[in-house]
Amino acid sequence: VYKPGAGTVLQHGDYGRRVSSSAEALAFYVSEPKQRALLCNKRVLEIGAGLGLPGLAVAAWGDAESVHLTDGDPTVVENLKRSVQRNGEDGAFGTTEVSAWQLDWEVPAAAVREKQQFDVVLAADTICYRLDAHDPHSPLLSTVRRWLKRDGLVLVMGPRDHRLENF
């Protein structure tokens, strides 16, 4: 995992500079044999990836068809690309296709075709991201709906507090 330097200004606070306990828990969860089997041959999207630990864990220890790490912060995305490149050079991902790209929840994407959608969406610490005080989870839910296949699976990890309960 490549981390941005301390002097780097990030759009959404320090989330792209450290591995949160939620990201660590999700990475551990997806690396369990039962979950790895569930992710086998699936297209996986991690949203709000930060350092991308859960997605990188799926890519390295699972047999997913592809794993795509996304974040809204261009600086974070550049760091994700470095992590993907460094791990890919070492052959850590096997046959799994891995990429990193910018996905801003506030910008409506062009129509997403079904073949572009994902079997699994991963999200760690995304429920604390607040854009609208009246409906703080609307951007997250819209993003998941847009990118997840109709019969897809969403795995969300967050802190045990009111934010998770409200979600």
Query: What was the pLDDT predicted at 105?
Result: 81
Q: 115 pLDDT band (50/70/90 cuts)?
A: low
Cβ neighbours, 10 Å, residue 119: 19
Query: What was the pLDDT predicted at 12?
Result: 52
Q: Give 50's DSSP letter.
A: T
Helices vs. strands in the chain: H and E counts, helices first: 6, 5
pTM of the model: 0.83
Q: 27 pLDDT band (50/70/90 cuts)?
A: very high
pLDDT of 10 above 60: no
Query: What was the pLDDT predicted at 130?
Result: 52
pLDDT of 133 above 60: no
Which tokens in the block code for residue 1?
Answer: 């995992």
pLDDT of 163 above 60: no
pLDDT of 126 above 70: yes
Q: Are 147 and 118 in contact (CB under 8 A)?
A: yes
How confident is the prediction for the chain on average, in pLDDT?
A: 82
